[in-house]
Structure 1
Amino acid sequence: MQYFTFGRNNHATGMTHPALTKNKFLLFWRRQISAIINAGADSGNTPKNKRTRVINISSLIAASLVFFFGGGLTIFSGSLAILYPAVPETLMFTGAIWLNYKRKYFYSALLWHMTFCTATLIFGIMLSTVIDATHMAGYLIGAPLLIFKQKETKLLAACVTCSILALVGIELNNNLHFFQPLDVSTTLYPVFRVATWLTVILLNVVVILFYLQQNNLLIGKLKQANAKLNKVNKKLAKASAYKTVYVNETTHELRAPLNALYAISQLLDDDSITGEDLQKMHKSMGYSISHALEIINNVLELAKIESGKTVPLKIERMVIRNWLEDITRVFTYQAAYKKVNIELRFEDDLPSEINFPRVQVTQVLNNLLSNAIKFTTDGSLIQVSAGCKGDTWFLSVKDNGIGMNKVTLEKIFVPFFTSGSNNPTGTGLGMHIAKKITERLGGSLVAESEWGKGSRFTASFRLNMEESPALSPADDPSSLIHPAKVLIIDDDFMGTHYYSKILGKMGCVVSVAYTGEFGLRAAELHRPDIVIMDMSLPDKNGKELLQEFKRHPDLSNIPIVFFTGSQLAEDQETAMRLGAEEYLLKPVQVDAINRILSKYAPEQ
């Protein structure tokens, strides 16, 4: 029996497998060639890396061809004249690789191209009877234009000039015969021509591959840029859609209080309406106006919520029955157009007063009532119920419309979803807004529906919300009188008239100017304690006028307060930076005016 132990016997006898020796040899030269090709490559600069490698590869190819073909042709021809330029050119190509290794990229590129030009000129003259050196014209001129960047003007100019001079030199010598070509045997003509073609082809292949890589790199970057642009476009389209929907939703929500105001204005022409009915209508008008302002502010607040900017909630203690009656009274005028009645139902366990954020819960109920009126059948009944379940209280709105199928019910809270032909004017955001606000308050909004039997929406909220701190009567600015001199600069004639009336009731002496120029003159004449101005005036904007006040030696210390309709954040930021004390959006509430007077009016 024979035993064979592989490996150990070989080492013992000092034998090496031929295939292993060959592999080590190939691996060694592969590493050496890789080191030469990557000499000076910068890992942080991909375009420069590729250019460096192209110069190294083409220099290695050219040096090898010049050295070996030069040596071989010298042997075949028996003339040392070919070897004399071949050796220094080989060293020059090697020098280009060495300069890359030393990070001298500009000088490496210059030496690389000048060596090619020199080699073309010398061999083009020496071997003019055998080869046509103008075959190198495309490479000499095209390579710099493809490899170097357009902004490298000095390098490009030097390389192109060198290329042209080399080709012109060859052509002049061919015609004027400054130098005589070598006398080469005709039997060697095929060898020289093959060597020339091989050199030209290899060098052009290297440059073309570099160009294709660069082209692919640019295409990749272009695709990435297009992808980013598409993402930006989608975001912009989504933002535009949100903007449109917010505008539509605001106008949609405003219809309820505006319809109420319109109906009341029509009824006021009836002389038979007096006494208690007139008082109720006056109260409804006030509530409708306040309601319209709350809708606008709430839509803006929701936009902030969508962008991740939360707004503090104001928890108020409300008499729930009175609050519900006020809201349904506003929608009664809207429901009357469809001959729809709104019925209020209060569960026995419902407390008389509940703490909750009035503005936000009102927004939820408004959406539910608007939706119910829109979808209920003419002449039907809408039921609004309020009650308690454990530690929560709820609002339920039931209509007698056509109801929803399963698919619509599943998507009813999805933003921008509408029920098609059943809701031609809807924005598809009302229910989404209601659910968003409800969830933000720690509650829930549930939809129940059956096709042909109407729908019920139930919003639930926590009972134990802590009431926000309120002003004590002693600190309430509305109870104070402010005998201050106030200058209003605004071209809104109706607005300034009513603000003047309000300020007058508070004990102020009011002056009015309708342009910035007259406002400045009035301030110089009356020296007001407070100036209220608009951002947009007929002759100049409020920021310019503010700067004029701050530069004026006698007016610079007067507090400037903006009452304006401009909601642009940059306007507010600029106004405050330029020295404005306050920036309030119209219409300004009476308590805000009182607060301003309490803060900036001189003490008596």
Structure 2
Amino acid sequence: MSSLISQTFRARLQHIFKLGTSRTSVKEEARRIRVVNIVSFATGILVAVYGIAFHLLLHSLLILIPAVFVFCPAFFCMIWLNSRGYFNASRIGLQAIFILIILYYGAILGRVTEVQLLAVFLMSVALLVSRPQEKAQRIICVSMPIICLVALEFNYYFHIVEPLPLSAQTQNMYRWMVMPVVLFLNYLAISLYQRNIMDLLRVLRSRNTALVRSRNEVLDQRMQLAKYSEELEDLVHDRTMALQTANDAKTRFISELSHEIRNPLNAILGISELLTDALGQPDSEARIREMARNLHATSHNILELVNSVLELSKIEAGKTDEVKMSDFSLREWLHNAVNIYQSIASKKSVFIHLEIDSRFPEMIIGDKLMLGQVVNNLLSNSIKFTPAGKNIRVRCFHNLRNMFIQVCDEGRGIAAQQLNAIFKPFEQGDSDVYREFGGSGLGLAIAKRKVELMGGSIEVSSQQGEGTNFLIALPLQVSTENGPQAAGELPLLPAGAKVVVMDDNAIDHTIMKHFLARIGIAQAGFAKNGLEGIELARQMQPDVILMDLHMPVMSGRETFFNLRQEELLKHIPIVAVSSDAFKEQEQEYIAMGMDGYIRKPVEIRVLHGVLEKLLYRAPNAARGAQSHAC
């Protein structure tokens, strides 16, 4: 029991001595705080005990009241200051209390107080609790006890303050009572110095050990560095060769990409000029229709090329889209895809035949967008390599677990040694073939990665002179949804709806005006920049604003924030219409507060879907058709 009490008492003392040390991470500062706490606690107890003892001996309140009610609380107040983080105030306060004790008791008790030994203790404490760089403070703290002793001697000589009358026996008893206290305090100072020196030696030994260990580690590191240097030279050489190879491949790719872009651009420019010449000439309608079809097909080619480059850069940056499953009719979807590419293939008199197993499920579950990227790339690739008068066959069939889409062409085929390279980006096989037929060499690389992302595989077989066969295998998930409704014209939007279009491109104005008219929007206003657009919006009070992001005078971002700050306009839905094709850019503008995002070139079905959603959602939309509003 006594052992437990002793341990508890020591733990409480250690807690008192460490008050305030947790407020600093500097070990030396923590040591000084601990010294102040120890000295304050010890002298506070001693002052209270000896104040009571001397009062019982002399029966004088001049000794009892200052000791118990002034000096003792003052010492404990220094510990409290440390606990609150006032370290400098605590150190200076401790010195001041000792100075007052020396002056006060030295004056009222006379020479029997042995203040000389107390002054020595005070100078020791001053050196313990002061920082080495605080030279002025150290000098002042060491000088004050000396000044106090001189002042007391001056008082003894001139009798300015008369000491209490003490008998010889009382003086001797008082001297013997004071001497142990003063000796204990000096012993405390010496022990604190000794502990400080031991801590310093311990630190020095630790640093010396660390220095030796560090020197050995440096020697080891030098040996390892020499070894790494040799390995690095070999690695740099290998990486340089690999980089040079990749750079050469990308240089070829950029050259061929430029060639591929210039070809359709040249066709677009030529057809545009032919259309201009044909206008107004007799019997020009059939030729204009044919040229318009060619222009659409050529534009579709260049759009696919740009999309392929963007898709590849996204995949290589590790930002591949997630698979988004939905219910759809693969049968209907393939019919639409083949119809689109048949118009492109018609330029070369190439025919696409679609064969779908009659037992194929009406509705399946899959990522329609990602599957479209795969099939579009394969069809585009097959059209390029299939000569006039030949055929492309698209077959769709399934077994219990997988569905298969097969694209077979009657082109010139691929050499066996090149089959492994056609799915790699920047590896285009026979560059002369690609020069002749076109192609960027990206479509198959993207198709392979998309198929694998959907959990499937893609295989190729080919025989030169006879054609190439691509086979896509994907997991089959049959949907329980009903079959799709027959596709027809897009439903008209509310006739009373108003739309403001902000775009600096006059051609985009013409295209957007045509699209809006086709889906039933007759009240449309057009502005060439954000400043004009805001003024037009004030006049029209539209239901939706379609806004390009890159405009002169006031950019799309500035225009958006200005619209959101106007009380009469801030409720109007704003849709960004931009050529910025990356998903991150779309997410940035949606996070900014845009109500929708449409990529250029604008597709009429996408435009219809966005407007339909916003017009039937907005409270002020479709003024002419309130019965359809939510």
Superposed CA deviations along residues 216-264 of structure 1, whole A, max 9, x for unmatched, are 7888999999999x99999999899899969977995997899699779
Note if 1:590 corresponds to 2:600: no
Pairing 1:562–2:580 present: no
Q: 1:275-294 counterparts in 2 under 5 A?
A: none
Unmatched 5+ stretches in structure 2: 1-195, 624-630
Task: State the Cα deviation string for residues 355-397 of structure 1 (Å, max 9, x = none).
Answer: 5766545544443344445556x66734425253545343231
Which of 550, 553, 569 pairs up with 2:564? 550
Q: Does 1:600 align with 2:610?
A: no
1:101 equivalent in alignment to 2:199: no
CA distance in 2, matches of 1:421, 1:262: 26
Going from structure 1 to structure 2, the CA distance change for 1:554 and 1:481 (only over 3 Å counts) comes to closer
**Equivalent in 389, 392, 397 of residue 388 of structure 1:** 397
What does 1:79-94 correspond to in 2, within 5 Å? none
Task: Report what 1:536 is aligned to.
Answer: 550
Identity of aligned residues (%): 21
| SS of equivalent residue, structure 2 residue 616 | helix
Q: Which residue of 2 aligns with 1:455?
A: 468
List aligned pairs for 1:366-445, cutoff 5 A.
366-372=376-382, 374-375=384-385, 381-386=390-395, 388=397, 390=399, 392-401=403-412, 403-405=414-416, 407-425=417-435, 427-445=440-458
SS, match of residue 509 in structure 2:
helix
Residue 274 (structure 1) shift: 5.5
For each residue in 1:524-552, what CA deviation from the matched residue of structure 2 results, as whole angstroms up to 9, or x when unmatched? 44444433322112123222222223333
Contact map agreement 1:254 1:295 (CA 8 A) in 2: no
Q: What is the identity, as a one-letter code, of the residue corresponding to 2:422? A: I
The alignment partner of 1:600 has SS state of coil
Determine if the alignment matches structure 1 residue 580 to structure 2 residue 594.
yes
The CA distance in 2 between the partners of 1:206 and 1:305, in whole Å, is: 48
**1:543–1:574 contact (8 Å) kept in structure 2:** no
Q: For 1:261-300, what aligned pairs fall within 5 Å after superposition?
A: 269=278, 272=283, 300=310
CA shift digits 1:404-433 (9 cap, x unpaired): 13x323443344332234445554433222
User: Are 1:398 and 1:454, in contact at CA under 8 Å, matched by a contact in 2?
Assistant: yes
Letter in 1 for 2:616: S
Query: Is the alpha carbon distance of 1:251 and 1:368 closer, same or farther for their aligned partners in structure 2, counting shifts above 3 Å?
Result: farther
The gaps in structure 1 that reach 5 residues or longer are 1-94, 113-146, 149-204
Helix, strand or coil for the counterpart of 2:617?
A: helix
Deviations 1:261-283 (Å, cap 9, x if unpaired)? Answer: 977995894854757x9878877
Give the counterpart letter for 1:399 in structure 2.
E
Aligned counterparts of 2:301 and 2:270: Cα–Cα separation in 1? 14
Give the Cα–Cα distance (whole angstroms) in 1 for the partners of residues 457 and 290 of structure 2.
34
Classify the secondary structure of the residue corresponding to 1:557.
Answer: coil
Partner of 1:344: 353
2:560 and 2:248 map into 1 onto residues whose CA distance is: 34
- 515 and 211 in structure 1: CA distance in 2 versus 1, 3 angstrom threshold: same
Counterparts of 1:236 and 1:572, CA distance in 2: 35
Alignment check: 8 A CA contact 2:573 2:614 kept: no
The amino acid of 1:445's aligned partner reads I
Give, in whole Å, the separation in 1 of the partners of 2:382 and 2:461.
13
Question: Is the 1:564–1:585 contact (alpha carbons within 8 Å) kept by the matching residues of 2?
Answer: yes
Deviation at 1:330? 0.9
CA distance in 2, matches of 1:556, 1:283: 42
Of residues 324, 336, 341, the one that matches 1:312 is 324
- 2 CA distance for matches of 1:241 and 1:550? 49
Distance 1:434 1:486, change over 3 A: closer
1:79-128 Cα deviation digits (max 9, x unpaired): xxxxxxxxxxxxxxxx99963734898xx79xx9xxxxxxxxxxxxxxxx
Q: How does 1:163-202 map to 2 (within 5 A)?
A: none
For 2:469 and 2:543, the matched residues in 1 are separated by: 56
Three-state SS of the structure 2 residue aligned to 1:396 is: strand
Structure 1 pair 207/451, CA: closer, same or farther in 2 (3 Å)?
closer
For the pair shown, the structure with the greater C-alpha radius of gyration is 2
Specify the SS of the correspondent of 2:501.
Answer: strand
Q: Residues of 1 paired with 2:540 and 2:393: CA distance?
A: 57
Structure 2 residue aligned with 1:520: 534
Q: 1:439 and 1:332, CA in 2 relative to 1: closer, same or farther beyond 3 A? A: farther
Does the CA contact (< 8 Å) of 2:275 and 2:288 recur in 1?
no
The question of whether the paired residues in 2 share the 8 Å contact of 1:477 and 1:598 is answered with: no
- On the 8 A contact 1:478/1:594 being kept in 2, the answer is no
Which residue pairs with 1:154 in the alignment?
Answer: none
Q: TM-score, normalised by structure 1?
A: 0.50
One-letter amino acid of the counterpart of residue 550, structure 2: S
Q: For 2:345 and 2:549, how far apart are their aligned partners in 1?
A: 35
Contact 1:402–1:452 (Cα < 8 Å) also in 2? yes
Normalized against structure 2, the TM-score is what? 0.49
Aligned match of 1:509: 523
The whole-number CA distance in structure 1 between the counterparts of 2:407 and 2:582 is 38
Between the two proteins, the alignment pairs up a number of residues equal to: 405
Contact 1:321 1:352 in 2 (8 A): no
- Cα deviation 1:482-523 (Å, max 9, x = unaligned): 523433322122212332444456345333322233333334
- Aligned residue for 2:496? 483
SS at match of 1:447: strand
Q: Distance in 2 between matches of 1:373 and 1:602?
A: 49
Q: Is the 8 A contact 1:369 1:397 kept in 2?
A: no
CA deviation vs aligned residue, 1:44-78 (integer Å, no higher than 9, x gap): xxxxxxxxxxxxxxxxxxxxxxxxxxxxxxxxxxx
Secondary structure (helix, strand or coil) at the match of 2:419 reads helix
